[in-house]
């Protein structure tokens, strides 16, 4: 989804999309250097990601590659016929006869119970496609609550799992452990936290023997024995080369290095006088203020020294994909959140302090 495929504006025709051939060459650069697993989806990169992947793998021995794409089960995607139509479209775009992994995309437990396993529904169609050899493994990607992700794993319907996991966000670690123990393949998205860990952080680099936060982020993920694959989005040749060089030379972070990073982070968090655990009891806010997320960004800013990424994400709150997450300016100081906070944080006053820091330019 990070490929350099662009479109001049939303209303431009598909013919105006550029960068497909360049993206295919970028993928091929990685494949020729030893990358074997490629993850795509129908709507990535103006719906051209699968096409770029298909061009990149053309002529390569198919049995040395693992190609993954996803089934978007929303809107009309709740029937077996819809599943089959989307699968066949993806196979044509990817220019391949089969998929190694086909994932139910961003599957929620409620969707699974109400639609996925319905009679003649998507799961039945997936099993039939597997019998025909069009899919080798049925999997899921998940952004649902970890406890719901656990229930999806326990159904036994899936052979692979894709969730977010990185140095800043470890909430799905128990899910990865369970999936690994059950023999499922495990992949993680966002090992560099969507680029946030590409920013320099003296807190991280001083606590581990690494040259950059990117190196630390990747080596942190590789240190988890429950994870088989790290999906790192790459947008240019430099990123491809840097990621491959890190993979070629670096051992995973040692338990001592991870412990030192965590110790420094926790020490710095305590100094903030903001004991937010991210429990979410303060939500929902009547005005939509995403207090746990705001405080988490403040912790990134102060405790991890990730100032640029924290400010950038804060400025984006209330817009685009963060539309439902309002920043502190939406607070009307009703105090409802403070009544529910188990840490007894003076949330209204803290939001004012945090807003001043995160809204600063720079």
Q: Which long-range contacts (CB under 8 A, 24 or more apart) does 315-323 make?
A: 315/358, 315/359, 317/290, 317/293
**Which residues are within 8 A (CB) of 5 and not within 5 positions of it... i.e. 6 or more apart?**
17, 18, 19, 20, 23, 45, 46, 48, 49, 52
For 33-45, what is each residue's pLDDT tens digit? 999 999 999 999 9
Query: For residue 190, what pLDDT is reported?
Result: 92
**Nearby residues of 327 by Cβ (< 8 Å), 6 or more positions away:** 289, 290, 294, 314, 317, 318, 355, 358, 359
| pLDDT tens digits, 200-217 | 888 888 888 888 889 999
Which of 354, 243, 222 lies closest to 300, judged by CA? 354
- How far is 252 from 226, CA to CA, in rounded Å? 13
Query: What pLDDT is stored for residue 261 in this prediction?
Result: 86
Q: Which of 83, 92, 84, 100 is CA-nearest to residue 55?
A: 92
**Domain layout of the chain by residue ranges:** 14-253, 272-358
Q: Phi, psi at residue 170, to the nearest 5°?
A: -120, 20
Span of 38-47, 280-289, 298-307 with lowest mean pLDDT: 298-307
Burial of 155 by CB count in 10 Å (0-12 exposed, 13-18 middle, 19+ buried)? middle
Question: Residue 77 pLDDT more than 70?
Answer: no
Confirm if 314 and 327 have CB atoms less than 8 A apart.
yes
Per-residue pLDDT, averaged over 101-113, amounts to: 95
Does 19 have pLDDT greater than 70?
yes
Q: How far apart are CA 119 and CA 289, in angstroms?
A: 40
Question: What was the pLDDT predicted at 194?
Answer: 81
Q: What is the per-residue pLDDT across 131-183, written as a single tens digit (0 to 9) for each?
A: 999 999 999 999 999 999 999 999 999 999 999 999 888 999 999 999 999 99
Q: What is the pLDDT of residues 292-301, one digit of tens each?
A: 999 989 988 8
pLDDT above 90 (res 262): no
Here the tokens at position 110 are: 């409620």
Partners of 163 in beta bridges: 188
Reply yes or no on whether the pLDDT at 49 is more than 90. yes
| C-alpha span between 168 and 313 (Å, rounded) | 14
Residue with tokens 């059950």: 182
| Whether pLDDT at 319 is above 70 | yes
Q: Other CB atoms closer than 10 Å to residue 191's CB: what's the count? A: 26
CATH of domain 14-253: 3.20.20.100
Phi–psi pair at 357, nearest 5 degrees: -75, -50
> Exposed, middle or buried, 148 (CB in 10 Å: 0-12/13-18/19+)?
middle
Indicate the pTM of the whole model.
0.85
Length of the chain: 362
Judge contact between 198 and 139, C-beta under 8 A.
no
Maximum separation of any 2 CA atoms in the chain, in Å: 63
Q: Are 148 and 184 in contact (CB under 8 A)?
A: no
User: Residue 271: which residues within 8 A CB-CB, separation 6 or more?
Assistant: 303
Q: Specify burial of residue 355 (Cβ count, 10 A radius: 0-12, 13-18, 19+).
A: middle
pLDDT of 74 > 90? The answer is no
Peptide bond into 284 cis (omega under 30): yes
Asked whether 216 and 246 are in contact (CB, 8 A), the reply is no
């Amino acid at each position: 989804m990070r490929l350099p495929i662009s479109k001049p504006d939303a209303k431009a025709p598909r013919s105006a999309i550029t960068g497909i051939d360049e993206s295919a060459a970028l993928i091929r650069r990685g494949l020729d250097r030893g990358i074997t697993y490629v993850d795509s989806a129908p709507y990535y990169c103006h719906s051209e990601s699968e096409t770029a992947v298909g061009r990149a793998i053309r002529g390569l021995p198919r049995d040395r590659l693992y190609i993954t794409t996803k089934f978007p089960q929303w809107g009309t995607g709740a029937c077996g016929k819809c599943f089959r139509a989307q699968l066949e479209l993806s196979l044509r775009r990817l220019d391949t006869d089969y998929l190694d992994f086909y994932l139910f995309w961003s599957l929620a437990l409620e969707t699974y119970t109400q639609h996925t396993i319905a009679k003649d529904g998507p799961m039945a169609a997936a099993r039939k496609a597997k019998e025909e050899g069009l899919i080798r493994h049925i999997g899921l990607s998940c952004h649902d609550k970890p406890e719901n992700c656990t229930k999806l794993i326990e159904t036994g319907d899936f052979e692979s799992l894709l969730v977010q996991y990185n140095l800043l966000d470890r909430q799905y670690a128990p899910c990865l452990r369970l999936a690994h123990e059950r023999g499922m393949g495990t992949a993680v998205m966002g090992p560099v936290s969507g680029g946030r860990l590409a920013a320099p952080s003296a807190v991280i680099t001083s606590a581990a023997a690494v040259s950059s936060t990117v190196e630390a982020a990747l080596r942190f993920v590789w240190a988890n024995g429950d994870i088989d694959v790290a999906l790192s989005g790459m947008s240019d040749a430099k990123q491809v080369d840097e990621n491959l060089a890190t993979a070629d030379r670096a051992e995973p972070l040692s338990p001592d290095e991870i412990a030192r990073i965590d110790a420094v982070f926790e020490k710095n968090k305590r100094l903030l006088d903001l004991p937010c655990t991210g429990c979410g009891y303060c939500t929902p806010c009547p005005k939509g203020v995403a207090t746990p997320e705001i405080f988490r960004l403040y912790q990134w800013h102060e405790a991890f020294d990730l100032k640029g990424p924290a400010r950038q994400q804060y400025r984006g709150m209330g817009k685009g994909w963060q539309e439902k997450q309002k920043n502190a300016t939406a607070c009307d100081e009703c105090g409802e959140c403070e009544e529910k906070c188990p840490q007894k944080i003076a949330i209204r006053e803290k939001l004012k302090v945090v807003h001043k820091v995160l809204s600063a330019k720079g």
